[in-house]
Copies of this chain bind each other. A is one copy, B any other.
Amino acid sequence: MSQPIDDFFAVIPAGGIGSRLWPLSRAESPKFLHDLTGEGSSLLRTTWDRLLPLAGPGRISVVTGRAHGDKVEESLGDIDLANVFIEQEPRDSAAAIGLAAAILERRHPGVIIGSFAADHVIKRQRVFEFTVRQAVAAAREGYIATIGIQPSEPAVGFGYIKTGQELIIDEAPMAALVERFVEKPDLETARQYFADRSYLWNAGMFISRADVLLEELRINEPELHDGLVEIAAAWDTDARDEVVDRVWPTLKKIAIDYAVAEPAADKGRLAVIPGQFDWDDVGDFASLWTLISGGVRDGVTVLGENTNVLSDDASALVVSQTDRVVALIGVENVIVVDTPDALLVTTPEHAQRVKSAVNALHDRGQDDVL
């Protein structure tokens, strides 16, 4: 076993609900608190366990909302509570990761931080660690580093990173510059990217020195930067609540991709390490079905502890949070999500549209089931 990295601190933004996984994911029970692989741990806990060998237990922080602080602490029994950063309200990823960077830079000057989503699924731990260690090495050289996933299929659901010129960094043999980011492509373009091999999936992982990230933020979003620095200065003092209440609501909502990563790429300051491990953001029930069925959407796959699923000439993903009998007769290629107060029936092809049902329920005033 390798030792944790001395100057490294992991940051887990745990904010998104995962609306496309409703009614499994809820405002009160977001995606990252669910065991989506059936392995017995929440995605958050699995993320924690994955980062432990790299950072050590005292050097992993979580940025989460007020509503989930207790559940995060419950899920991560061994977390140092000083490393749970509660957001007053959600203000997108630049504020979340920037807050962690600003606090950690004050506490540990020169620290390298790596941010990893709380609700992704990754397999091949040793390859993951090997990749992150290279990203840390690139960060130590002053780059903002990202990890791009080597595509396993011509996916249209992810943004891509175009790999550019190779970088010569001793401990990061696979590092290259990011040439540019590209938005989610159509299928034809995705096929070209897949054949090209220099296009990687943007998995939203960023590793850099905290001060480098903050400086990039200062250049691109000075008000956001200044607000975060002001909050960080007060964070470990009695003034925290007063400053947070005053400043946080004024912060600009912007994704870290736009506030930091893309401008850095334009300046040749963004490095990418290709990740050869299996990665899935489990963005909807279609990808969940593919994930837990090993890619074979045949027969009936059950997620949950319900042993009362009965099928006759059916193929389905059944996600059950009840112990009701679920009988499927003659239905093909359906997704059934059975919870105590809401039932969803859809298909893999319509899985992305679950979010619009969530919106419709919100518009109808039924936030109690969202």
Which A residues fall within an 8 A CB radius of B? 23, 308, 310, 312-313, 316, 324-331, 334, 336, 338, 340-347, 349-350, 353-354, 356-357, 360-361, 364, 366, 369
Q: Which residue of B is nearest A364, CB measured?
A: B310
Name 21 A/B residue pairs within 8 A (Cβ), A-sorted. A310-B357, A312-B350, A312-B353, A312-B357, A313-B350, A324-B340, A324-B341, A324-B342, A325-B366, A326-B345, A327-B343, A327-B361, A328-B346, A329-B353, A330-B347, A330-B349, A331-B345, A331-B346, A331-B350, A336-B345, A343-B343
Interface centre among A313, A324, A366 (most CB of B within 10 A): A324
Say which residue of B308, B328, B366 sits within 8 Å of A345 (CB atoms): B328
B342 touches A329 (CB 8 A): no
| Other A-B pairs, 6, CB within 8 Å; known A23-B327, A326-B343, A331-B350 | A23-B325, A325-B366, A327-B354, A327-B357, A328-B346, A336-B343
Known: A312-B356, A329-B357, A360-B310. A334 touches B341 (CB 8 A): no
- A358 CB to closest chain B CB, in angstroms? 9
B346 touches A329 (CB 8 A): yes
Point out the residues of chain B lying under 8 angstroms from A354, CB to CB: 327, 329
Say which residue of B324, B334, B346 sits within 8 Å of A343 (CB atoms): B324
B342 touches A325 (CB 8 A): yes
Q: Whole-angstrom distance between the alpha carbons of A334 and B316 in the complex?
A: 13
Point out the residues of chain B lying under 8 angstroms from A343, CB to CB: 324-327, 336, 338, 343
Q: Which residue of B is nearest A344, CB measured?
A: B327
Q: Which residue of B is nearest A22, CB measured?
A: B327
- A331 CB to closest chain B CB, in angstroms? 5
Point out the residues of chain B lying under 8 angstroms from A329, CB to CB: 344-347, 350, 353-354, 357
Q: How many copies does the complex hold?
A: 2
- A25 CB to closest chain B CB, in angstroms? 14
Q: Which residue of B is nearest A311, CB measured?
A: B357
Q: Which residue of B is nearest A329, CB measured?
A: B346
Point out the residues of chain B lying under 8 angstroms from A326, CB to CB: 342-343, 345
Say which residue of B336, B341, B356 sits within 8 Å of A325 (CB atoms): B341
A331 touches B347 (CB 8 A): yes
- A311 CB to closest chain B CB, in angstroms? 9
Q: Whole-angstrom distance between the alpha carbons of A357 and B328 in the complex?
A: 9
- A359 CB to closest chain B CB, in angstroms? 10
A345 touches B334 (CB 8 A): yes
Point out the residues of chain B lying under 8 angstroms from A327, CB to CB: 23, 342-346, 354, 357, 361
Point out the residues of chain B lying under 8 angstroms from A308, CB to CB: 366
Q: Which residue of B is nearest A314, CB measured?
A: B345
Known: A343-B343, A345-B345, A366-B308. A350 touches B325 (CB 8 A): no
Point out the residues of chain B lying under 8 angstroms from A346, CB to CB: 327-331
Point out the residues of chain B lying under 8 angstroms from A364, CB to CB: 310
Q: Whole-angstrom distance between the alpha carbons of A360 and B327 in the complex?
A: 10
Say which residue of B316, B325, B334, B353 sits within 8 Å of A361 (CB atoms): B325
Q: Whole-angstrom distance between the alpha carbons of A146 and B326 in the complex?
A: 41
- A286 CB to closest chain B CB, in angstroms? 11
B341 touches A310 (CB 8 A): no
Q: Which residue of B is nearest A323, CB measured?
A: B341
Q: Which residue of B is nearest A331, CB measured?
A: B345
